[in-house]
Structure 1
């Protein structure tokens, strides 16, 4: 089963829950798809491994062939090509998504493509099980490309269970991870902001028709009930993790609370059993 661990906002504890699920089910694939700020490997003690580049075709101009017609700039949906009505167009490679439209419409063959590194994939072993991580190159906008390639590389491990630590929010990267999963586990804080962001990500999962459930983290920090949201989206809370000093200290030290807090580990075990009942 491929389980996407998601949240409507950063800081809800998504990665702590994802790491705990990995530690609670030895042999499951730990996959960090929060490629703009991957840190699942920190909590799982990942070091070394192998690294491969993620390449993406980007546009470039052969100026001697260009007729300055401007069609490439007109067709570009991402604003990666600037043209001011005359002269040669200018390509901003950092904005290019490699869609291939500009070479297609260029009448002289002046607009072409070449590979550019937009990120990396690290893989190996962490906490005794398989681990893989996507990492976006600084300055690149090709987040979805890195996520897709990391998911594709994850199939090499042949693992039965995947724990996919996705990016927070409801943008294209988050939706890409949800789309690739069999089920979604939403991590939320019981605070006004937490519930507002939870509603947004539940709506995305509902639109994608993904089986979904909720995990409450930092329970006791706020007392906002989730009953209305659960009824609205036909989901249920599978487990709650209390706000404790020990969990906060573990996170500050780059450790997973699963290994330092017996109650947290017990709750993770109950969460796995609830996942199996709910999504099997």
Structure 2
């Protein structure tokens, strides 16, 4: 959708997934992810997450095809004269490919015969697909419109490389958190595009030919990525603090149990000693 809502919706989806990933990967890494007794728990979490991502994709497809204002293509691609709402169809294609990635994640955990790493490969292809779509999305548009949209390619390019490396380097926390920071930037930048090109509160429109605006947007993108790194660092720190507190609590309970054991044991010994004297 060529409006603020059309950019805020995918931006919200990417932000939610990115923030969740920053918590999930941090918790799994800090909470001894290699223990076999925890594998079933993490598999259930992965399946639920993939189901939510699939739901996001379906919502996005319906939002693009059947917009509330009735201006969507309604699954019609071509009429007797021309193509119908290709911008909506490009967004639909993006959601569809991410939906395939979510389905592959679910199948990878439900069907053991599927090779390990295939889910990450499909996710890589989904990211590349979005990059191809957006690269040709803004031709013949004003300079600022082209500039702000092409910044989406940077997190997509980095995300595609890091996700592809995860095909071979599974559960690598550095790659996972790097991908997480990029998807958070990706989501926040969708919101930035909406605010710049389609001011939601009736504010003044931006001069899309101003070089100063282009310079500011370039600087603004750097701020977005720095903010995403701060979010990942904060969530990692909060997770570390929570897990450390849980471990101290468990150790305290174990120590109390150990301290109680000798006193109980001594009472039993004294009772047996008295019985023998009688």
TM-score bucket of the superposed structures, by smaller chain: under 0.3
Say which structure is richer in strand: 1
